[in-house]
Amino acid sequence: MSLNSRIITALEPMKLKVTVSEHPVNDEEGKPQQPDTFLVIIPGTDDFPVCADDRPIVETEEVELALYCKGNYLRMRDEITTRLLDADITITSRKYMEFEKETKYHHYIFEVMGISE
């Protein structure tokens, strides 16, 4: 299972809008939306750090998760952290980016990594 799929599955109980590489600008009917909270998965690296007999035996995937939240981002941060760690997804970094005055979103970043053999 890809890291993106593992993240989406881990966060599914939160009913959080999760997209890959794009802001969720339209709903299912094509109407513009501004959800109070959403998460964007931004692909990073796919690597083969361990090889044997000219074949990769370990694959690592790294992505950045951009959380946008109009409410209590600390509660969201903590729940996302717990769910990712419980799904055996490694969090390598967490950081608060900014409060976006125009949109009223808190912007918080998780850098995560998954390993498969």
Q: Where are the domains of the chain?
A: 3-116
Architecture of the domain delimited by 3-116: 2-Layer Sandwich (3.30)
24-52: pLDDT as tens digits = 666 677 666 778 999 999 999 988 888 99
Q: Provide the pLDDT for residue 49.
A: 86
**Percentage of the chain modeled with pLDDT above 70:** 92
pLDDT band, very low/low/confident/very high, at 115 (cuts 50, 70, 90): confident
Count of CB atoms situated within 10 Å of the CB of 76:
19
Whole-number Å distance between alpha carbons of 48 and 61? 9
Q: How far apart are CA 14 and CA 76, in angstroms?
A: 9
**CA 36 – CA 45 distance, rounded (Å):** 29
